[in-house]
Structure 1
Amino acid sequence: MKFKNNALQQAIKFALATTTAGLFVSGSVVAAEQAAEETKVNKNVEKIAVVGTRSAPRSIGDSPVPIDIIGGEELDKGGNTDMLELLKGSVPSFNVHQNPISDAASLVRPANLRGLPSDSTLVLVNGKRRHRASVIAFLGGGINDGAQGADISVIPSIALKQVEVLRDGAAAQYGSDAIAGVMNFVLKDASEGGSFEIRQGEYYEGDGDTTQISGNVGLPFTDSGFANLSFQYKTADATSRSVQRPDAAALNAAGVPEVSSLAQIWGAPEVDDDISIFGNIGLELSNSSEFYMFGNYSERDVRGGFYYRNPHTRPGVYSNDGGETLLVGDLTGDMSGNCPTDIMIDDNVLDNQRYIDLVANNPDCFAFNEMLPGGFTPNFGGNITDTALTIGTKGEITSGFLEGAYYDLSGTVGYNESRYFIYDTINASLGPESPRDFSPGKYSQLEKNFNADLSKGFDFGLAYDVNVAGGLEWHEETFTVVSGDVASFTAGPLTEQGFGIGSNGFPGFKPSDAGEYTRRNYAAYVDVEAPFTEDFLMGLALRYEDYDSFGSTTNYKLTGQYHLTEDLNIRGSISTGFRAPTVGQANVSNVQTNLSSGVLVDSALLPPTNPIAVQLGGTELEPEESQSYTFGAVWTIGDLFFTVDYYNIQVDDRISQSDKIELSQADKDTLEAAGVPNVQNLAQVSFFTNDFDTTTQGVDAVANYSTDLLGGSSTFSLAYNWNDTEVTKSTDITGEFKVSRLENDLPNHRATLSWAQQWENFSAFTRVNYYGEYQGVHVDYDATAKTADAAVTIDAEVTYFLTEELSFSVGATNLFDQEAEKLDFYDSTGIPNNNWGGKYYETSPYGINGGFYYVKATYTF
């Protein structure tokens, strides 16, 4: 389907713009009374959350900690097919970048809640811990450098009953990673009915064509249970927001053949055969117990762009002295070819007569200009597989000394695998025998979790029973590195002549890099909630956690809520928390390509205990530690619901990648002796480190109002977040630019304002998104950084209900095609910013692709 420059595109744009004119909305029915469809039935139904308490589920207005609830139907109106983008539109403190040309971060995009990295937010499904992705974001855009969070993009919105976002530290309740908060994805549990949906869309530029087919069905599981099944299948074409690189244009002008018209692509990657299947099963075993089981299988192929290799300057391939002389290999095996080493490179080395006579027409000598005269641009991709299964039983104990207590016993296993591929590149050391496509190996993450939870109410003469909960947890995680195909890492016959080893851009994992790394930990917790009066509730949680690698930690959380009046209550919490370093962060090594001061170089990531890392300041990783507190108020008056919460999160010894540290020749010699491949072509190294402390503070404000309007029912929602991060301690290992990225890359101010309107046969949804100023960065290069302007985007969707079962929708995200911040043509040092072919700063919080139109048809039964 092609919308660009045709009548359909203009008609859709006109319909959406006129239907939504005057609607001011916040993209998240965050803590709303009900989504538009539900409002039609009963606009006063309360939102009930499971996350954040060990007691009975409670209304979010009665929670002592801030919780957002986003209904599944609101997510469906978000207009996007990626769960990350849907949540970004619904929770203002949630941010995610598109990460073009970011190694594995392009395959599994890391996200940020409250300005902290992706692995500082704990992800649950049906209240159970979700496993991490195997992808470590080596190029994570500053904030997420080295993060290893869960891959929530595999969760289809059609499978969800609701998403609960606990905006508060919760390590004392749930364990590691819950420093910024908790996201709980609650799967649908209906035993009948369902829906099927097909969606088609593309960007205004005419690319990124996306097709999604999804479905959900509820089935009875005997007379006493349910089996709710969901699927989603998606494909998405790549996008390009690029211009020709100046060096490629100069080569073309000089007559160099086979130079691509766009040597380097900035945009979203191609996603192929993206399939997710989720199942949720429940069965009543007796009047007091039930069995449950849920899980998923997901798989997708992703392929995106990488940096262009200039045929005059790329080290290890074309030249080893910055483009002055040509790198020529002797193919004889005994150096009898007498191949020249002093051929000067001018505008077009192919016209150099000495090159023609002594290399091109000499079978004993070889230069890659013969094979790839216009240079080459690797394509980086991967196959991502994700699967999980949870089985458990829960219920009420009906006899004995624990009569009246509730139990929950469960086991979970989760697995994520990323098999990497790199296309259209070479292993230069193999010379003309090099293949062009490689499989550099794979990472996998396996996690096992067992929980035993117990809770019981006790009458201590207070307003209500005091709920006392306790439990045990055992957790094991294994990170595995599997070596790549031999051609991706082997040192070929031209190695000693200065040609690079391994697949250029992403060398394969050698057998010596391969390994399996396992860590186990167990935890015990107790959680008490005491209603001292009908108006005053307090809670205390304590958790002891012991790891077989670095020892134990104990954390607490104290919460309170007090009703000043029937309609106004105040709430607050104070807690400590921690985030354990992942097994992958402690053991992984990798070689990556990145820009340093505008020059494309190879950089090695080393384990922090590697001798070179230790020499440069690396130490064995320790857990992050956090202290946080929140204070807020909840006000309800009629149909208006309003909350405001201040938060402060201090994190000590944060884990991240160090700055890229330049290697001396002595360092290179030591690395070479230790077996690191291609070491003489390495320019930098980095490692994981506990090097800096941060303080993050902010304010969340949420307002929702439901009423009858314009002959239908309306829900208005406003959500605002102010977030500020300050690096309070750091060293040169972190570096000044990394500090700047941590503090400035994300906008300090985010807001959404939305209006959902329901009539008998029509519904409309409009959301206005506000993004404050942020630091624009291009190619992770500090000289390109600038303060980018604030911007507003508008999303809209209009639905017509042809029958009770069949509906048709048209919608758009970024309806008026708000353009991302364009690159200044020259940076602060006078270097052209489009040397690398970009048009926009890729840190744009609303992306660089522009407006996106879609149509969809939904059948509900």
Structure 2
Amino acid sequence: MKASFCARFNALLLVSSLAVPAAAETRALPEDGGATPAADTADSADTVIVTGTRSQAQTQFSALSPVDVFSAKTIQSTVSSSLDTKLAQLAPTFTVKRLPSSDGPQFVRPASLDGLSPDMTLVMVNGKRFHRSAFLNGGAGGAQAADLAQIPSYDISHVEVLRDGASAQYGSDAIAGVINIILDDKPGFSVYGQGSQYYRGDGRQWQLGGRAGFALEGGGHVVVTGEFSDSDATSRTAQRPDAIAFQAANPQIAVPNPVQHWGNPEFKALKFAVDAATPIGDALELYAFGTYARTRGANDINWRNPTPGVNDNIFGKPGAPFFPGFDLRKIYPAGFAPREGIRANDGQAVAGLRSKGSSNFTWDVSGSYGVNNTQFILNNSINASLGPASPFNFNLGHQIQREFNLNADAVYRLDVAGLPQPMNIAFGAERRVETYKIVAGDPASYMVGPGAAAGLAAQSNGFPGFGPTQAGSWSQTDYAGYLDVQVPLTSVWTIEAALRDENYNTFGNTFNYKFSTRYELAPGIAIRGAYSTGFKAPSPGQLNSTSISQGLDTRTLQLFTTGRLSPLNPVAAFFGAKPLEPEESKTTTAGLVWRTANGLSGSLDLYQIKVTKRFSLSPTFVVTPAIRQQLVALGVAGANDFTNINFFTNDFDTRTRGVDVVVSYNHALGGGRINATASYSYTDTKVTSGSLTAANNLMQRTIFEKGLPKHNASATITYDIGDVTLTARGRYYGSWTDSSGNATGDIFQKFGGIAFFDASIGYQVTKQVNVRIGAENLFNTYPDKALFQASRGLVYSRNSPYDTNGGNYYLRLEWRY
């Protein structure tokens, strides 16, 4: 992490250490997700929310748009240490792919709300925009999304998930909705330890965490949280058929079984969070908060078969060595599976000054700086073109994302004769600078050595490093202004209009709006609806970066190399590439919300999201000798080894329709209290125009339309009686279609619906000590096997939207004071 960021982050921590308190109710300010706790009350519909509204004391029931709230207790009821995986188990509208042994996505997992691209959901912490990851996920249409796994989950008060378009309120990325993580500012001390392991005996994970919250004189607070997790790898792998054949043909060689592992990577994470505030006199409050994470991971990628004639571009042709005296088959007699690793440092710091109190005019000015610095490592590999001069371990380089935001927000509550309550008028401005940087790796990771003349593969094999021609730094600046007016026309009818104008120095201006309304039909039942436009701006990384990836054809078992060019590259332009434009959306929602006096509440929401000019990888173009010559002349790294090329493009339009149903019940029962929530989500995405409608692009269309389940459901029941807490959860994922990439096209397989069940029992040993034992996937359920991926050793699909490692049991011990 660069010194400039460390200096800024440490400065804000110093500000935090001087903090003195703030009343919780004053935190629900414009673009400042307040710390109002999402308590497990008898009526969860009365939980105060701050996402999707700038009105004070808005609740889930009175909100004009659907918002789900997940309390700290609910979030901590799952085994995983990663917030993205936790939410995927709790919210049926939210899915996360595991993608084992798949380069970057196995470490920065693509998460999707309403089946849309990962970067179409805005992530905020305490109401402030959280920065993106530096990783561009080519398999998810080039999505560059925020990485929820970088945020420590032990410091969370609650999470609010807005299931509606909100670009007119918050700007780019909020097409599908908003996830707002609210940090816990309450005083107190707690520590926890947790151990878990899969039934199969692998994937052992240790988690430790501690939190110290200080209530300072005058009502202030300083909260510091630390969390550590250490996860072993899992392996759900069969020996590759070609490895079996190689072993049979070479009994004198000890071939590992399996030759590579498919499963969760080894992963370590150390995360911190700080949250503080201090009043300045009676009318002002200074605040600061931030997060920091340091993560390390590693896993196998595709095995390189040393059989003569299979990978001669790596091992060389037997009997005709280009480098006399050098034989890679003697170094790797059983072939080799490169081991890819990641080292990431992620941090964000926010500081601001805001008004406090209950006056009709409140304001908030703030600045934030976020950075994600991701370094890729490759071990147990070779740059074949360098022969004996090649190392076996490589630093592949860094991808770095930096964002600097300045915000000024205000709310004026205007008393108007004839209105039952004041009008809520919110307005503000934002300046955001986004910078993407690529730092070159070790020279050997990108060099084209002398052996390339004999057909030996250049660059580190498995994941080529970033070369000087890929390295660089690119920035984008935008300015925004917004106006948001909410009017209570009567005691039962409210309307709202939000307008936002933004200007980017890369592509120009964009204007978006949202109109919402809510009408209470009778006490305890209301209808609501909204229409909005939205946008997702292309990032500097999507506009400018290039990359190289290698895959394994599941039919021929031959490696192929794909070069992703910048859409600004002249060769890409020859194939129709143009500078990226913003993705644009039109969203319509309509819903019904209700609550009863006996603790039963719920909502039913229907939505349609039309997105035009969606980002995608272009069709793959075969690299002919003439194209290769042009690429080499342009200095494109790795062009000599390209099998094919593609680029990001505004490719097609989609229409997503869905239904979300949420029902909650919280009531005393049999000497205890039952708290139950059931959710169901139906999502259907269709490609309506663009290149994906062409017959020759069935692959990408199938991925977008059928790559995630349409039907998802989750139900959780918690029963507290005395010192005992019983929890049961059921999760259902509908059918979906998988694709298996090849150099000549994809093969598809449909997977049926599947249900998982989780259970735990907790016991309050003393007032301070709690112990919980439980299991996720209690009945050790596995999905159908991946028939067309078996040739590479996979047993279960790598693209699964759920965990495929079987049952996982755990023990958790927590102490609170």
TM-score (norm 1): 0.87
CA gap 1:44/1:571 in 2 versus in 1, 3 angstroms: closer
Is 1:416 the counterpart of 2:375? The answer is: no
Instruction: Verify the 8 A CA contact 1:371 1:432 in the aligned structure 2.
Output: no
Amino acid at match of 1:702: V
Instruction: Verify the 8 A CA contact 2:45 2:595 in the aligned structure 1.
Output: no
Give the equivalent residue in structure 2 for 1:194.
Answer: 189
Higher mean displacement: 564-573 or 502-511: 502-511
C-alpha distance in 2 between matches for 1:509 and 1:216 = 40
Alpha-carbon offset, residue 754 of structure 1: 1.5
Is 1:162 the counterpart of 2:158? The answer is: yes
Give the equivalent residue in structure 2 for 1:744.
Answer: 706
Amino acid at match of 1:648: Q
Is 1:445 the counterpart of 2:442? The answer is: no
Is 1:239 the counterpart of 2:239? The answer is: no
Q: Secondary structure at the match of 2:420?
A: coil
Alpha-carbon offset, residue 652 of structure 1: 0.2
2:221 to 212, 217, 226: 226
1:632 to 581, 591, 598: 591
Taking only the aligned residue pairs, the percentage that are identical comes to 35
Give the equivalent residue in structure 1 for 2:561.
Answer: 602
Give the equivalent residue in structure 2 for 1:393.
Answer: 353
C-alpha distance in 2 between matches for 1:788 and 1:385 = 37
Amino acid at match of 2:805: N
Instruction: Verify the 8 A CA contact 1:444 1:480 in the aligned structure 2.
Output: yes
**For the aligned residues, what is the CA RMSD?**
1.9
Is 1:490 the counterpart of 2:447? The answer is: yes
1:690 to 647, 650, 653: 650
CA gap 1:716/1:173 in 2 versus in 1, 3 angstroms: same
Instruction: Verify the 8 A CA contact 2:699 2:746 in the aligned structure 1.
Output: no
Q: Secondary structure at the match of 1:418?
A: strand
Is 1:854 the counterpart of 2:776? The answer is: no
1:56-98 Cα offsets, whole Å, 9 max, x none, are 1411100010000000111011222221111011110000010
Instruction: Verify the 8 A CA contact 1:99 1:842 in the aligned structure 2.
Output: yes
CA gap 1:291/1:505 in 2 versus in 1, 3 angstroms: same
2:734 to 755, 760, 772: 772
Give the equivalent residue in structure 2 for 1:435.
Answer: 391
Q: Secondary structure at the match of 2:61?
A: helix
Give the equivalent residue in structure 1 for 2:284.
Answer: 289
1:507-561 Cα offsets, whole Å, 9 max, x none, are 1111222111011000000000000000100000000000001000000000000
C-alpha distance in 2 between matches for 1:697 and 1:783 = 26
Instruction: Verify the 8 A CA contact 2:553 2:741 in the aligned structure 1.
Output: no
Q: Secondary structure at the match of 2:436?
A: strand
CA gap 1:327/1:644 in 2 versus in 1, 3 angstroms: farther
Q: Secondary structure at the match of 1:747?
A: coil
Instruction: Verify the 8 A CA contact 1:397 1:405 in the aligned structure 2.
Output: no
Give the equivalent residue in structure 1 for 2:572.
Answer: 613
Give the equivalent residue in structure 2 for 1:797.
Answer: 760
Amino acid at match of 1:789: G
1:314 to 311, 321, 335: 311
1:759 to 685, 699, 721: 721
Alpha-carbon offset, residue 287 of structure 1: 2.4
Q: Secondary structure at the match of 2:313?
A: coil
Q: Secondary structure at the match of 2:450?
A: coil
TM-score (norm 2): 0.92
Instruction: Verify the 8 A CA contact 1:521 1:548 in the aligned structure 2.
Output: yes
Q: Secondary structure at the match of 2:691?
A: coil
Give the equivalent residue in structure 1 for 2:134.
Answer: 134
Give the equivalent residue in structure 2 for 1:504.
Answer: 461
1:317-353 Cα offsets, whole Å, 9 max, x none, are 135xxxxx6484333xxxxxxxxxxxxxxxxxxxxxx
| Higher relative contact order, chain-length normalized (CA < 8 Å, sep 6+) | 1
Give the equivalent residue in structure 1 for 2:495.
Answer: 538
C-alpha distance in 2 between matches for 1:85 and 1:860 = 25
Q: Secondary structure at the match of 1:317?
A: helix
Amino acid at match of 2:461: N
C-alpha distance in 2 between matches for 1:87 and 1:815 = 19
C-alpha distance in 1 between matches for 2:47 and 2:311 = 58
Give the equivalent residue in structure 2 for 1:458.
Answer: 414
CA gap 1:856/1:584 in 2 versus in 1, 3 angstroms: same
Alpha-carbon offset, residue 784 of structure 1: 3.8
Q: Secondary structure at the match of 1:49?
A: coil
Is 1:840 the counterpart of 2:796? The answer is: yes
C-alpha distance in 1 between matches for 2:44 and 2:121 = 31
Alpha-carbon offset, residue 492 of structure 1: 2.1
C-alpha distance in 2 between matches for 1:576 and 1:590 = 32
Alpha-carbon offset, residue 596 of structure 1: 4.5
Aligned ranges 1:62-77 → 2 under 5 Å: 62-77=62-77
1:818-850 Cα offsets, whole Å, 9 max, x none, are 1022123xx5xxxxx411001112233222111
Q: Secondary structure at the match of 2:573?
A: helix
Is 1:376 the counterpart of 2:336? The answer is: yes
Instruction: Verify the 8 A CA contact 2:44 2:601 in the aligned structure 1.
Output: no
Give the equivalent residue in structure 1 for 2:770.
Answer: 807
C-alpha distance in 2 between matches for 1:367 and 1:216 = 55
C-alpha distance in 1 between matches for 2:44 and 2:205 = 37
Aligned ranges 1:513-528 → 2 under 5 Å: 513-528=470-485
CA gap 1:492/1:288 in 2 versus in 1, 3 angstroms: same
Is 1:181 the counterpart of 2:141? The answer is: no
Higher mean displacement: 203-212 or 54-63: 54-63
C-alpha distance in 1 between matches for 2:619 and 2:57 = 45
Instruction: Verify the 8 A CA contact 1:221 1:283 in the aligned structure 2.
Output: no
Larger Rg computed on CA atoms: 1
1:254 to 249, 255, 266: 249
C-alpha distance in 2 between matches for 1:594 and 1:663 = 16
Instruction: Verify the 8 A CA contact 2:759 2:774 in the aligned structure 1.
Output: yes
Alpha-carbon offset, residue 469 of structure 1: 0.9
Give the equivalent residue in structure 2 for 1:674.
Answer: 634
C-alpha distance in 2 between matches for 1:622 and 1:396 = 41
Instruction: Verify the 8 A CA contact 2:66 2:162 in the aligned structure 1.
Output: yes
C-alpha distance in 2 between matches for 1:743 and 1:489 = 37
C-alpha distance in 1 between matches for 2:807 and 2:373 = 33
C-alpha distance in 2 between matches for 1:752 and 1:58 = 26
Amino acid at match of 1:719: S
Instruction: Verify the 8 A CA contact 1:821 1:844 in the aligned structure 2.
Output: no
CA gap 1:451/1:654 in 2 versus in 1, 3 angstroms: same
Higher mean displacement: 555-564 or 296-305: 296-305
Gaps of at least 5 residues in structure 1 are 1-32, 320-324, 332-363, 828-832
Amino acid at match of 1:568: I
Instruction: Verify the 8 A CA contact 2:672 2:719 in the aligned structure 1.
Output: yes
1:148 to 144, 147, 162: 144
C-alpha distance in 1 between matches for 2:281 and 2:780 = 56
Q: Secondary structure at the match of 1:252?
A: helix
Aligned ranges 1:714-725 → 2 under 5 Å: 714-725=674-685
Amino acid at match of 1:68: D
Amino acid at match of 1:133: S
CA gap 1:536/1:328 in 2 versus in 1, 3 angstroms: farther
Aligned ranges 1:562-601 → 2 under 5 Å: 562-596=519-553, 598=555, 599-601=558-560
1:425-475 Cα offsets, whole Å, 9 max, x none, are 001111123211000100100100000001101122212111111101000
CA gap 1:405/1:503 in 2 versus in 1, 3 angstroms: same
C-alpha distance in 2 between matches for 1:248 and 1:574 = 56
Is 1:702 the counterpart of 2:662? The answer is: yes
Gaps of at least 5 residues in structure 2 are 1-35
Q: Secondary structure at the match of 1:370?
A: helix
Alpha-carbon offset, residue 488 of structure 1: 1.1
Q: Secondary structure at the match of 2:315?
A: coil
Higher mean displacement: 292-301 or 255-264: 255-264
Q: What is the total number of aligned residue pairs between the two structures?
A: 772
Alpha-carbon offset, residue 315 of structure 1: 5.2
Instruction: Verify the 8 A CA contact 1:777 1:841 in the aligned structure 2.
Output: no
Instruction: Verify the 8 A CA contact 1:34 1:46 in the aligned structure 2.
Output: no
Instruction: Verify the 8 A CA contact 2:446 2:638 in the aligned structure 1.
Output: no
Alpha-carbon offset, residue 396 of structure 1: 4.8
1:274-307 Cα offsets, whole Å, 9 max, x none, are 1000001011223222111000111010101211
Instruction: Verify the 8 A CA contact 2:658 2:682 in the aligned structure 1.
Output: yes
